[in-house]
Amino acid sequence: METDNANAIIVTTAERAKDLKQPLVQIRGVVGRCSKPRVDMHYQTGPISTVAGRYAREILWPNAGVGPDDVDLTGSYDAFTFTTMLQLEDYGFCKKGDGGHYVSDGTIMLGGKRPNNTSGGHLCEGYTHGIAMVIENVRQLRHDADDSCPIGPDGRRQHAYDYREGGCRQVKNAEVSANLGWAMPGTGSAMVMRRG
């Protein structure tokens, strides 16, 4: 179900951000509104199982200075379950055709090698067209995901990394995230962020 809400992300220079209260999260690379060769004829141009991420990755990874193996967590547009698999394949997190195995073998779960949509994504948290996953990944990179871990004497969450239902959802040692956007199969955007 689509959700009406308001969100804001403040973007400034790294120099100015050093004086802010929250830990710095840097945008390392972006690609916006990247399209397949014929976005108007997506289903007639190339296999329908190839999405814009296949073309966006050629811009995103070189600009970010990292690759899929360097990413600790992802946030992907998931209005349908198959959209996550196609994006993970086409951005290079797994081979084409291996998306089903990649998402079902525990890789994208909390505690897995590369958790995806740690706050629930569109299918579980609320359909806010991608911005919620960007905000969640910023929280993850700050090591301050809002969860049920107790607050310690220093006023900070003491993450237990106990990923049972209702437990901690902070990804351990989260340093690099990738958000994979989806306007439609033929058009998409993405962003890589790094802690500090």
Catalytic (active-site) positions: 77, 127
> Which residue carries 């108007």 as its tokens?
40
Contact 39, 155 (CB under 8 A): no
**Three-state secondary structure call for residue 180:** strand
Going by the DSSP 8-state scheme, the letter that residue 91 receives in this structure is: T
Residue 49, amino acid: S
- Residues facing 179 on adjacent strands: 75, 191
> Which residue carries 């991420």 as its tokens?
53
